[in-house]
Structure 1
Amino acid sequence: MNKFTGISFVYSGGLGLIVGVIAALFMGMVELGNQLLWQIIPRALGDPFIYPLLICSLGGIVIGFFIEHVGKYPKMLPETLVESQETGRLEYKNGQLLFNILGAMLVLLFGASVSPEASLMIIVGGVITFFCDHFKVSLPQRKDLLEFASGTVLGVIFTAPLFGVGSALEKDDLQNLTESKLKRYVLFIFATFTGFIGYLMTYSLFPNQEQVFAIQRMSTNLSWQGILLVIPTIALGAFFGKFFLWMQKQAENFNQRIKRPMPLTITAGVLLGILGLVSPYFLFSGEHSLLSFTRQAETMSVFIILLIAFGKVAITMICLACNWRGGIIFPMIFSSIAAALALVQVFPFSNGLLVAIFTASSCAVILKRPFATACLFLFLFPVQLFLWTWLAGYLGNLLIKKLPLGTSGFNLPILNKNTDDKQDTKETKEPMKSSSSDFSRSRRSRRK
């Protein structure tokens, strides 16, 4: 992607539109399915209290049957990263693209506490590989397209246009910034911009639009007590992020030992349903319920908020361990914000600042990308806190690296690595290469 020509913008812009449309269609279909399963059917049955347990248990049976007879779908991001880095493609043949779509929809429809980014990355990657095969796209161009597609997916579903390119910037050696890299970043941003256009235009065709991935705005005023709490808050956030990673590692180890998936998928469904009876915030990934939760947290006790924060982590890892497969970014954000809200209940100083830096520190430790994490939260928290979140993410990562706790973390899903380095040494002349409904909101509205 070294030539900065009109055809480069055509490729990247067209790619962004395709990715945005695919993401909107997938998310819209999941939303329609959730309305059927979690609003229309329970309303017709008289809103039985036990409904979450029944539907999640049924989900465990369906998902277990699907895995035993079809396979472990959707694929997880580590599997996808290995495949894309080794082959420069994400396979779509022999029904794999369809199986990924079906597997992802089943998990999201039945209320799993996982998010859609992992599934969408795989689905979009398969579609891009299909087009590359049919248009005879070369391997360097194919890798660029896959990276642009993955960054665009992350940008549109998190409403964070700089998230993908921020991650690309962070993984590159900016001390060796070349003209080729600068051109790629411009095209990357352009692809994300057109992706937003495709996503918004397509998703607007679906009914019942609502605001997602939002929190209640808190005061950003600084106090001397809040300033004194900055470093302890960053440290606590980093430890929470490390706890999240430790739980994820246990889930992965457990999943690798599974012989018969059906009993465990049912067990996970039952546990998910029971927790759904305790609080609807344990269901789904959290992007639709984040705003209502941050509003209600003001009236909750510290114990209840912490129970939700750590319970969200636990049920997410149970889902992953028992083959309710999906992403972790939305549950990661939800649980981190919940823990931060518990903190400001105890220390009610500079609430907006402390919540932002705790969340940024935690999530940056999990993602291992402080700048990309700050870009992710650019429109979630007030813009004036951007530098604070960046600093918190950097210091949180630094703390975890300095302590004898291990340095493993979640690999932020940018599909190809070091492609710029290869391209800069070998100048090629080729032009270029959940979600889910808010069950708590629906039950409250029905009670009204």
Structure 2
Amino acid sequence: MAAISFLTSLGWGDQFLKGFPSQAPFVLQLLIPISCGLAIGLLRRAGAEPLPELIETFAQLDPKQDQKLQLEIQPKLSHILLGLLALLGGGSIGPEALLSRSLTEWQLGLQRLKTKLAIGGRLAKGYWSWLPGLIGGFAGFALLKGFDRFGGGEQGVIFLWPNSFSQGASNLAWALLLGAGGGCLGLLFLGLRRQLAKRIKRCQASPLPLAIFTGVVLALVNIWQPLALFSGEQQLSPLLQGELLNRADQLLLVGFLKIALCALCLSTGWMGGLFFPLIIGAAAIGQGLHQAAGIIPGEVAISALVAGIQAMVLAQPWVPFVITVVVLKGHALPAAVIGSLMGWRLNRYVRDI
């Protein structure tokens, strides 16, 4: 986490770490995404394996699956390098895929090391048995600091509970509608990924031009709308407090751009997590809808859309609900519950037809 913060600040400037557009020299802002795209493409062409997505890592660790899948998890430097390059280059992806995969690989590597040393005698039992616990403690500390930094939530954004039956009924209706809207945003994200995968397969494009193309796109988007780059976790609170964008059309544009760029990055080798880009994108769209149509309660729109998009993508309601509660710090909790259920039901409906 410290390395990511230091390198990001070095390239993009301290102002970016506060959630605001980078104040780095303009030429540098263009060169960083393109250079990272070139590096990602060259590494992939040289045979480096891309960083697996978080869902893929979970599938390999599932005890119900074939144990051979867990044997495929080997510590690979390429995962770290490719994950760092994608984050530092401005990809609209989060750090959770890199962190979870690194911790998984290190943990399983230590377990294998412990097993090998145990064959040789007492060394593993006497001296090495504490290593997994120690690493787990460090990992827990890092994750807690990570939640503190990456899950800043809506600090300073006021949530007003309904003060009448009619207001509560109105919030309920909006939560149902916007929860389904969040599911539609998730459907849009999944559809973009499918279409990009089909086009890439049809063109038989190699990893190098794909990675460079994404770097160029990110550089151009940075000129037009810099807040659409990166995962956006630092931008959540200032964005919703009106410190970054004040117009509804700008909020809607940033939200849709972030979701689209996340799909592009994941489809072209810029691998990372999808939680934060989807969360920030849905939150920006919710805030934009609130400003565009004053009758939509902002806190309900944000929580319902954020929970709904995740439930649609993950195809289950409870993890998106927990993530929404943690990131938004319990903001509009009933709307988060309804949004999660609506996004999940929409996923089931689409899958059945």
Deviations 1:354-403 (A, max 9, x none): 3212221222111222122111122333537434422321133223433x
Q: What SS does structure 1 have at the residue aligned with 2:208?
A: helix
Q: CA, structure 1 residues 211+372, in 2 after alignment: closer, same or farther (shift >3 Å)? A: closer
**Where does residue 286 of structure 1 map in the other structure?**
232
Gaps of 5+ in 1: 1-26, 138-190, 204-208, 409-448
**Whole-angstrom CA distance in 1 between matches of 2:328 and 2:95:** 22
Q: Confirm or deny: 8 A CA contact 2:196 2:264 kept in the other structure.
A: yes
Q: What SS does structure 2 have at the residue aligned with 1:289?
A: helix
**Whole-angstrom CA distance in 1 between matches of 2:221 and 2:138:** 40
Q: What SS does structure 2 have at the residue aligned with 1:288?
A: helix
Report the aligned-residue RMSD: 3.2
- Counterpart of 2:141, as a letter, is I
Q: CA, structure 1 residues 70+332, in 2 after alignment: closer, same or farther (shift >3 Å)? A: same
**Whole-angstrom CA distance in 1 between matches of 2:160 and 2:97:** 33
**Where does residue 377 of structure 1 map in the other structure?**
324
**Where does residue 70 of structure 2 map in the other structure?**
89
Q: CA deviation at 1:333?
A: 0.6
Q: Confirm or deny: 8 A CA contact 1:255 1:323 kept in the other structure.
A: no
User: Which of 101, 108, 120 is the equivalent residue of 1:122?
Assistant: 101
Q: CA deviation at 1:407?
A: 6.0
**Where does residue 267 of structure 1 map in the other structure?**
213
**Whole-angstrom CA distance in 2 between matches of 1:60 and 1:354:** 35
Q: Is 1:237 aligned with 2:178? A: no
Q: Is 1:75 aligned with 2:59? A: no
**Whole-angstrom CA distance in 2 between matches of 1:297 and 1:229:** 26
Q: Confirm or deny: 8 A CA contact 1:254 1:321 kept in the other structure.
A: no
How many aligned positions are there?
316
**Whole-angstrom CA distance in 2 between matches of 1:120 and 1:282:** 22
Q: CA, structure 1 residues 30+298, in 2 after alignment: closer, same or farther (shift >3 Å)? A: closer
Q: CA deviation at 1:255?
A: 5.0
- Counterpart of 1:374, as a letter, is F
Q: Confirm or deny: 8 A CA contact 1:89 1:125 kept in the other structure.
A: no
Q: What SS does structure 1 have at the residue aligned with 2:241?
A: helix
- Counterpart of 1:373, as a letter, is P
**Whole-angstrom CA distance in 2 between matches of 1:61 and 1:384:** 41
- Counterpart of 2:2, as a letter, is G
- Counterpart of 1:220, as a letter, is L
Q: CA, structure 1 residues 379+366, in 2 after alignment: closer, same or farther (shift >3 Å)? A: same
- Counterpart of 2:153, as a letter, is A
Deviations 1:187-244 (A, max 9, x none): xxxx99985435457x7xxxxx967542252323222543442322222122112112
Taking the TM superposition and a 5 Å limit, the aligned residue runs for 1:99-178 are 99-136=78-115
**Whole-angstrom CA distance in 2 between matches of 1:121 and 1:30:** 15
Q: Is 1:303 aligned with 2:249? A: yes
Q: Structure with the greater relative contact order (CA < 8 A, sep ≥ 6): 1 or 2?
A: 1
**Whole-angstrom CA distance in 1 between matches of 2:105 and 2:150:** 29
Q: Is 1:362 aligned with 2:309? A: yes
**Where does residue 215 of structure 1 map in the other structure?**
154
**Where does residue 10 of structure 2 map in the other structure?**
36
Q: CA, structure 1 residues 296+62, in 2 after alignment: closer, same or farther (shift >3 Å)? A: same
Gaps of 5+ in 2: 17-22, 117-134
**Whole-angstrom CA distance in 2 between matches of 1:36 and 1:131:** 33
**Where does residue 430 of structure 1 map in the other structure?**
none
Q: CA deviation at 1:293?
A: 1.7
Percentage of matched positions with identical amino acids? 23
Q: CA deviation at 1:328?
A: 0.8
Q: CA, structure 1 residues 127+52, in 2 after alignment: closer, same or farther (shift >3 Å)? A: same
- Counterpart of 2:257, as a letter, is G
**Whole-angstrom CA distance in 2 between matches of 1:355 and 1:406:** 26
